[in-house]
Structure 1
Amino acid sequence: MEEILTPAERTIMSSLANDEVDSYVLSESSLFVYPYKIIIKTYGNYQLLLSIPPILKLADALNLRVKKIMQTRGCFFFSGAQPYPHRYFSEVVVLASYFGKLASGGNAYVIELHVYSSSAVSADNSNPIYTLEMCMTSLDRKEASAFFKSQYVIFEK
């Protein structure tokens, strides 16, 4: 795990696991490891693309192949504070150097979110895997407190 997190300058703050998923709260990020996929979400300083080479190296050592990659990002606030290749969407398409050879060739879109997606042709569609990503912005601060564990977390202006 250290080999994957160090390039992105992330450390494990806490973790939980069950039969379905191992979840980690990282410094400025969250990591979810399923038997069939990895999800990494980040907040703040964005350096997760630097973890791609060690993830691919580990996958190769385990004889695993990438079937799909999707990277989404809302806004590029404080772009100048981010390290290359995380400053601008034009740099984030460095993903194509890793995943552009998959069957779909890789595509980048801006549809309220900046989205990069690439996938291999799947011979087995009998058990499709669905992932829902829900992004909520401009929420009323008091109403947003419903998404926190503690009843005392209410943002004041």
Structure 2
Amino acid sequence: MASVDSHQHFFEGTEKLLEVWFKSSEGRDLDLRTVQKSDWDKLLELVKCEIISVASSPEMDAYVLSESSMFVTQDRYILKTCGTTTLLYCVEPLLKLVKDKVGFDVVGDIFYSRKNFSRPELQHGVHQNFENEVQELDKIFPNGSAYTLGRINRDCWYLYTLEDEGVTQPDQTFELLMWDMCPEKMKIFTQEMCKDGRDASEKSGIVDIIHGMKMDDFLFEPCGYSMNGLLPDGCYITIHVTPEPHCSYVSFESNVPQETYNDLIEKVLDVFRPGKFLMTIFANKASIARDTHKTLETQENIKGYRRSDHQLCCFKNYTLTYNQYAKSSAKSQRSTTTGQFARPVI
């Protein structure tokens, strides 16, 4: 890859992640997937991103975006955006759209999360710091709670959710956020090495992480990669890669239910070989993943990585486990995070 000026070509790979569960106060059988693509297009204009492609399963519509991904099920909406997108500006319009077009009039639960940005000063409006994001969400949700996990003077992870019991059906989310990436692995996610998204998926080994996926993958110009993978029963995985050497970053997210995620963790790490990563596992009481925190409590090492932080949060219906690891031989460094659609540059 050609060298670039980090000040001119920096890209913030760290995503803002919003997940909203909807209900009907009258118990009506409603479906978010009846919202038209044109309505989603208008909503995403507020976020400053757009739809590239869509793949569907009987339970879910998955959209690859110009900056990350969007997922829509019968009663859940997930929006994940990177770069300098303005995700929180769509929350109130989203609630209005869903009420007017679908009929859902109750928010069953909400999760807004992100890692700390590498260059927060480049974000727009409320996204320059978490305190402002919390104030924005508190205007909409009077029963919200905000948390910081990790080290506030190093790498950390923010969460906003509701105090209520929330989702009672089986639900879990597993996330690996990785940085200080292996340069050789990152070269795969450039048009210098691969002709398209599928080529990158195969050469990197992403196709072998979970078999049986319906994949929708995309390789950006000149570099950068996004993939949504659909699995039976409303399960998904989504991967996003920022390969530039000075701001390399990869995210992996899935709601696949497992009693332990050890095998999946090792597969993902083998594909990407990060210098550092943080892991979060959300699981509610009905999920088979509800006891994963017990295994992780004593797991100080993972195949060449040593744990630096471990935290457990217990909410009314969910357990959240947070862990951060670094290569055992790597020197401690302060994080630097940082992609046809061209990768935006600033």
Task: Mark yes or no: TM-score above 0.5.
Answer: yes
Contact 1:28 1:45 in 2 (8 A): no
2:116 counterpart residue number:
75
2:145 pairs, out of 107, 113, 116, with 107
Measured on the aligned residues, the alpha-carbon RMSD in Å equals 2.5
The whole-number CA distance in structure 2 between the counterparts of 1:129 and 1:98 is: 26
CA 1:132–1:152 in 2, change beyond 3 Å: closer, same or farther?
A: closer
Instruction: List per-residue Cα deviations over 1:59-81 (Å, max 9, x = no partner).
Output: 22122121101111101222111
CA 1:32–1:156 in 2, change beyond 3 Å: closer, same or farther?
A: closer
The whole-number CA distance in structure 2 between the counterparts of 1:7 and 1:85 is: 14
Contact 2:49 2:85 in 1 (8 A): no
CA 1:63–1:26 in 2, change beyond 3 Å: closer, same or farther?
A: same
2:75 counterpart residue number:
36
| One-letter identity of the residue aligned with 2:173 | L
2:103 pairs, out of 36, 60, 63, with 63
Q: Specify the structure having the higher radius of gyration (Cα).
A: 2
Tell me, what secondary structure is at the counterpart of 1:59?
helix
Instruction: List per-residue Cα deviations over 1:107-144 (Å, max 9, x = no partner).
Output: 1110131111115456x84xx14131312324752578
| One-letter identity of the residue aligned with 2:103 | N
| One-letter identity of the residue aligned with 1:38 | Y
| One-letter identity of the residue aligned with 1:97 | K
| One-letter identity of the residue aligned with 1:95 | L
Instruction: Give me the identity figure in percent.
Output: 27
Contact 1:69 1:119 in 2 (8 A): no
- The runs of 5 or more residues in structure 2 that have no matched partner are 1-39, 151-156, 189-199, 206-242, 246-346
The whole-number CA distance in structure 1 between the counterparts of 2:146 and 2:204 is: 40
- The runs of 5 or more residues in structure 1 that have no matched partner are none
| 1:152 CA displacement | 5.5
| One-letter identity of the residue aligned with 1:15 | V
The whole-number CA distance in structure 2 between the counterparts of 1:91 and 1:133 is: 26
| 1:36 CA displacement | 1.6
2:178 counterpart residue number:
137
The whole-number CA distance in structure 1 between the counterparts of 2:204 and 2:185 is: 13
More contact order relative to length (CA 8 Å, sep ≥ 6): 2
CA 1:97–1:42 in 2, change beyond 3 Å: closer, same or farther?
A: same
Contact 1:31 1:41 in 2 (8 A): yes
How many residue pairs end up in the alignment?
Answer: 147
Name whichever structure is richer in strand by fraction. Answer: 2
The whole-number CA distance in structure 2 between the counterparts of 1:9 and 1:19 is: 29
Tell me, what secondary structure is at the counterpart of 1:23?
strand
* 2:23 is the counterpart of 1:23: no
| 1:15 CA displacement | 1.0
The whole-number CA distance in structure 2 between the counterparts of 1:138 and 1:152 is: 17
2:161 counterpart residue number:
117
**Runs of 4+ that moved beyond 4 A:** 119-122, 142-145
| 1:9 CA displacement | 1.1
1:11 counterpart residue number:
50
User: TM-score, normalization: structure 2?
Assistant: 0.39
| One-letter identity of the residue aligned with 2:161 | S
Tell me, what secondary structure is at the counterpart of 1:35?
coil
| 1:44 CA displacement | 1.6
Instruction: List per-residue Cα deviations over 1:55-108 (Å, max 9, x = no partner).
Output: 1101221221211011111012221111111110011111111122xxxx1111
